[in-house]
Amino acid sequence: MTYRYIIFYKPYGILSQFTKDTPTHNTLKDYIEVPDVYPVGRLDWDSEGLLLLTNHGQLQHRLSHPRFGHQRTYWVQVERIPDVKALTQLQEGVVIQDYRTQPALVQLLPTEPPLPERDPPIRFRKNVPTAWLEMTLTEGKNRQVRRMTAAVGFPTLRLVRISIAHLQLNGLQPGQWRDLTSGELKLLLNLAFAGSSRNSKRR
């Protein structure tokens, strides 16, 4: 079997699946004509950015498992300008749905990041300023970033995942995909399976 490893820049409004459950949203099938690959984890329909797909089932399982705490980095546009207290809360962990999030790397970006325009654009309100955060998490609870920013009083307006571990979009535009390079793949396999190989040597 030939394994495929794909990075896709998921646009806004696209479901992270190949089956079409609803006529109102497009799916991965509208963009990726590679048979039998499936997303590792997911991005919500209203989120954008990097999605990893593969037909390597063991890799998919290891990367999706909650114990595999690889970093995921997002650029997050929020309503209003978060203060130091809110940033500290996000960094240290907040309670969402009876769960306390793990510590995260969170910083306020000094300028708007270089992203393509969203289609459709976010709702603009003249009297409400917005800000961009860079947030790096090691867990992936359902709609976690949105729930975290809402919990500290700064609702998310736009959410773009820019990296998964060492994997980055590297010039892709929304709707485009590419195969991983040999270097990217080697690092990814080492990251996913290094722990299991060490454990097997101890036995």
Residue 176 corresponds to which amino acid? Q
Q: For position 20, what pLDDT does the model report?
A: 84
Query: What is the reported pLDDT for 197?
Result: 43
Q: Is the Cβ–Cβ distance between 130 and 157 less than 8 Å?
A: yes
**pLDDT at residue 123, rounded to an integer:** 83
Q: 């909650």: which residue's tokens?
A: 66
> So what's the pLDDT on residue 195?
57
For residue 120, give both structure tokens.
């459709």
Domain locations along the chain: 1-69+165-203, 71-164
Cβ burial, residue 148 (10 Å; 0-12/13-18/19+): buried
In this predicted structure, what is the pLDDT of residue 193? Answer: 84
Query: Tokens 């571990």 sit at which residue?
Result: 165
Check residue 87 and give its pLDDT: 98
Angle, CA 88 vertex, CA 104 and CA 130 arms, to 5°: 90
Give the count of beta carbons closer than 10 Å to the beta carbon of residue 150: 16
- Each residue of 9-37: pLDDT tens digit? 999 999 999 998 878 889 999 999 999 99
Q: Say how far apart CA 55 and CA 2 lie, in whole Å.
A: 9
Placement of tokens 């820019």 in the chain: 162
Say yes or no: do domains 1-69+165-203 and 71-164 share a fold. Answer: yes
Residues of the chain with pLDDT under 50: 197-203
Helix axes 182-202, 57-64, angle to 10 degrees: 80
CATH top-level class for 1-69+165-203?
Answer: alpha beta
The CATH H-level (homologous superfamily) assignment of domain 71-164 is Alpha-L RNA-binding motif (3.30.70.1560)
Q: What local confidence, expressed as pLDDT, does residue 192 receive?
A: 85
Which residues does the annotation mark as catalytic? 44
